[in-house]
Structure 1
Amino acid sequence: MFDDSDETCWNSDQGSPQWIEIQSEESDLTEIFSFDIQFQGGFVGKDCYLEVVSPRSDDNLILKQPFYPEDNNKYQHFKLDNSVKGKIFRFVFVNSTDFFGRIVIYKLKLN
């Protein structure tokens, strides 16, 4: 997902919901304005949202913003309503376009 190779990907198990959590390795908070994601068509997240969590507590939600990917193989860009700083970025996929709830992601980039 992060190596810019078209031959590697992340795939979930079956079932819903699924999620990906990214924790910033930097000592300061990481600011993001947008993100890019590339799914495999037919295995795309539905009813998705990005959560940004405070580094002090998993219960301290800074942001919860929905996003709506198209069911295709294209590299998709999503802009946040406002930039946000955080340490933990959690992409939650409540459902999937796949009947079994599987999701396949080739690329994911925070901007």
Structure 2
Amino acid sequence: MVESSASSNLLKSLPYTSTVSSVFQRDHKQFGKKYLFDGKEDTCWNSDQGLPQHVTIKFEAPQKVGVIKYTSQGGFCPKEIVVLADGVEVTRVEMGDSNFEQVINIPEPKEATTIKIEFTRASDLFGRIILYNLELLTQ
């Protein structure tokens, strides 16, 4: 995956709602979805075990997402990610087990109000995912 010249993090500039598939031991105070978007390196969303897991973002108006960036915890990384725009698969990618920022370029971005990022395989045997940040960028 090659770094794109993406311009704007939609999650910083537009209103949205988000949902996640699960939170580790239902401890929203320590591992909830809000930590995906707070910009801090020492907070995270931690899923419970089991696959698939997902993060869903819903915008008030259609947006064209061209790039997704995230940082994960080594050993608890997504290994395969499916990105859906309004329920239609737009890309499926294999990812590495890494602590470094990962970039997913969406080959043919489509306008959509709902973006679902589904983690279908994980580096953790129990299917747990840990993400420190998430950005959705315009193309």
**TM-score with structure 2 setting the length:** 0.69
More strand, by proportion: 1
Aligned to 1:21: 56
The match for 1:64 among 79, 90, 109 is: 90
Would you say 1:100 and 2:126 are equivalent positions? yes
Aligned to 1:75: 101
Contact in 1 for aligned 2:90/2:106 (Cα 8 Å) = no
Contact in 1 for aligned 2:78/2:95 (Cα 8 Å) = yes
Aligned length: 102
CA distance in 1, matches of 2:114, 2:83: 10
Following superposition, the deviation at residue 84 of structure 1 comes to 1.7
RMSD, aligned CA = 1.2
Paired residue type of 1:42? G
CA distance in 1, matches of 2:133, 2:125: 22
CA distance in 2, matches of 1:68, 1:109: 18
Tell me the percent identity. Answer: 30
Aligned to 1:91: 117
CA distance in 2, matches of 1:108, 1:68: 17
More helix, by proportion: 2
Aligned to 2:75: 42
Following superposition, the deviation at residue 17 of structure 1 comes to 1.1
Following superposition, the deviation at residue 3 of structure 1 comes to 1.3
Following superposition, the deviation at residue 32 of structure 1 comes to 1.2
Following superposition, the deviation at residue 4 of structure 1 comes to 0.9
Paired residue type of 1:95? R
**TM-score with structure 1 setting the length:** 0.85
Greater RCO (Cα-Cα under 8 Å, separation 6 or more) = 1
- Structure 2: 5+ residue runs without aligned partners? 1-35
